[in-house]
Amino acid sequence: MIQYLRRILLLVCMVVSPVGFASVVPPDQLVKQITQETYVYVNQDPLLQKGDTSKLIEWAEKSVVNSFDFQRMTRLAVGKDWRQATPEQQKQLVQEFRTLLIRTFANAFIGITKNQTLEYLPFKMQDDQKDVIVKTLIIKPGKKPVDVNFSLEKGDESWHVYDVVLAGVSLITNYRESFTQEIRNNGIDGLIKQLAEKNRAAALKAKAS
């Protein structure tokens, strides 16, 4: 069940990508615009539908970075152990976690989004709010709708996603347990090594396929 939820959470995160606008786009509109654009992009490309993740990974590398606060996501996923990491270790953690998420986004997206849509729930915020939640529902024929909450924070120039909660399960806290266990067993360097090995294995598998 946890693996299924993680897969869906990563799927939902993948649809968030940057869109060029002259002014700051409200968070609810940003989520709506970019999810719709990504849905069309993925489902109209025959290579992606055949399982070619390389193209989607390349696209994700260029787009997802600007829509996600990977620094904050990594810090939250590592939890209290983040403070014991050196600046260089923190940098490596962010880099490896970012790579892991982008590749997993691509793999999770293929074949899952077809026939699924997002319903956008009413959204209100105060003018001075810097941290908001945009609520949506995943709609799939014959299935019960699943609630999906996007957590966004406003930066200097735009909003950024730092967590997604699906059916009450947070992407960040879902990783935190395994991260904490690895740090407990092998320290910060152990977690960095574990993430790096997963990324290398995934890259080799992609090349072989």
- pLDDT tens column, 97-153: 998 887 776 665 565 556 777 889 999 999 899 999 999 988 888 889 988 888 999
| Burial label, 146 (beta-carbon count in 10 A; 0-12, 13-18, 19+) | middle
Query: What is the per-residue pLDDT across 93-107, written as a single tens digit (0 to 9) for each?
Result: 999 999 888 777 666
Alpha helices, DSSP H, located in the chain? 2-14, 27-43, 46-49, 53-63, 70-78, 87-109, 171-208
Residue 135: beta bridge partners? 149
Crossing angle, helix 87-109 and helix 171-208, to 10 degrees? 70
- The span from the CA of 75 to the CA of 66, in Å, is 17
Query: What is the per-residue pLDDT across 167-201, written as a single tens digit (0 to 9) for each?
Result: 888 888 889 999 999 999 999 999 999 999 999 98
Backbone angles phi, psi at 152, to 5 degrees: -130, 145
Higher pLDDT, 146 or 47: 146
Higher pLDDT, 79 or 141: 79
Cα-atom radius of gyration of the chain, to the nearest Å?
Answer: 17
Could you say which architecture CATH assigns to the domain 2-208?
Answer: Roll (3.10)
pLDDT of residue 6: 62
What's the pTM?
0.79
For the chain, give every domain's residue range.
Answer: 2-208
Within 13 Å and on the Cβ side, how many CA atoms surround 180? 10
- The span from the CA of 113 to the CA of 99, in Å, is 21
Within 13 Å and on the Cβ side, how many CA atoms surround 172? 20
User: Which string of b and e fits 36-60 if b means at least 16 CB within 10 Å?
Assistant: eebbeebeeeeebeeebbeebbebb
Name residue 67's amino acid: S
- The span from the CA of 39 to the CA of 182, in Å, is 35
- The span from the CA of 102 to the CA of 99, in Å, is 5
- The span from the CA of 121 to the CA of 105, in Å, is 24
